[in-house]
Structure 1
Amino acid sequence: MKKLNIVLSLLLLAAAPALAGKDKAAGEAVVLPDVEMIDVPTAGILDYYGFMVKTRFYSDGGVLGALNFGVLERLNLGAAMTIDKLVGSDSGIKMRKPEIQVKFRFYDGGYYIPAAAVGYDGQGYYYNPVSKKYLEKGKGLYLVGSKEIGVPSLVLHGGLNVPDFDNNYLFGFLGVNYTLEDKIAFMLELDNMFHSNDPSRLNAGTRIYITPYFQLDLAMREIGRNGKFDNGDSRKAERIVQMRYNTSF
Structure 2
Amino acid sequence: MHALIRGLIVFFLFVPIIFSQPGALGLGQLIDVPIARALHQGVVSAELRIYPGGGLLSSVLVCLTDHLGMGVSYGGTNIIGTGKPEMNPLPCVHLQYLLFEEQMLSPAVMIGFNSQGYGGYHKSMKRYAIKSRGFYAVAGKNTSFLGGLGMHAGLNYSLENEDGDRDLNVFAGFHKWINPDLVVLGEYDAAINDNSDNTLGAGKGYLNAGVRWSVAQRFYVEFCWKNILENRENVPGSSREIKLIYLAHLIR
- In the superposition, the TM-score normalised over structure 1's length comes to 0.80
Instruction: State the partner residue of 2:243.
Output: 242
Unaligned ranges ≥5, structure 1: 1-30
Instruction: State the partner residue of 1:157.
Output: 152
Q: CA-to-partner distance for each residue in 1:44-87, whole Å, 9 max, x for gaps?
A: 11211110100000011100100010012310000111221011
The correspondence for 2:219, drawn from 214, 225, 229, is 214
Instruction: State the partner residue of 1:108.
Output: 101
Q: CA-to-partner distance for each residue in 1:149-184, whole Å, 9 max, x for gaps?
A: 443410001101001375541110011011223210
2:53 partner SS: helix
Instruction: State the partner residue of 1:28.
Output: none
Q: Could you say if the C-alpha distance between residues 122 and 192 of structure 1 is closer, same or farther in structure 2, counting changes exceeding 3 Å?
A: farther
- In the superposition, the TM-score normalised over structure 2's length comes to 0.79
The correspondence for 1:147, drawn from 141, 149, 160, is 141
What's the CA shift for 1:191?
A: 0.9
Q: Given the alignment of the two structures, is residue 71 of structure 1 paired with residue 64 of structure 2, yes or no?
A: yes
Q: How is 1:66-215 mapped onto 2 (pairs within 5 angstroms)?
A: 66-89=59-82, 91-96=83-88, 97-125=90-118, 126-149=120-143, 150-164=145-159, 166=161, 168-194=166-192, 196-197=195-196, 198=201, 199=203, 200-215=205-220
What's the CA shift for 1:212?
A: 3.2
Whole-angstrom distance in 2 between the partners of 1:191 and 1:162: 12
Whole-angstrom distance in 1 between the partners of 2:46 and 2:215: 15
Q: Could you say if the C-alpha distance between residues 112 and 208 of structure 1 is closer, same or farther in structure 2, counting changes exceeding 3 Å?
A: same
> Does the CA contact (< 8 Å) of 2:206 and 2:231 recur in 1?
no
Overall identity of the aligned pairs, in %: 24
2:146 partner SS: coil
Q: Could you say if the C-alpha distance between residues 132 and 152 of structure 1 is closer, same or farther in structure 2, counting changes exceeding 3 Å?
A: same
Whole-angstrom distance in 1 between the partners of 2:149 and 2:232: 33
> Does the CA contact (< 8 Å) of 1:49 and 1:71 recur in 2?
yes
> Does the CA contact (< 8 Å) of 1:46 and 1:69 recur in 2?
no
Instruction: State the partner residue of 1:4.
Output: none
Instruction: State the partner residue of 2:29.
Output: 36
The letter of the residue matching 2:180 is: D
> Does the CA contact (< 8 Å) of 2:137 and 2:156 recur in 1?
yes
What's the CA shift for 1:248?
A: 1.1
What's the CA shift for 1:139?
A: 0.6
Whole-angstrom distance in 1 between the partners of 2:116 and 2:221: 20
Higher mean C-alpha displacement, 192-201 vs 103-112: 192-201
What's the CA shift for 1:194?
A: 4.0
The letter of the residue matching 1:158 is: A
Whole-angstrom distance in 2 between the partners of 1:173 and 1:183: 26
> Does the CA contact (< 8 Å) of 1:102 and 1:120 recur in 2?
yes
Q: Please, what is the CA RMSD of the aligned residues?
A: 1.9
What's the CA shift for 1:247?
A: 2.4
Whole-angstrom distance in 1 between the partners of 2:232 and 2:99: 39
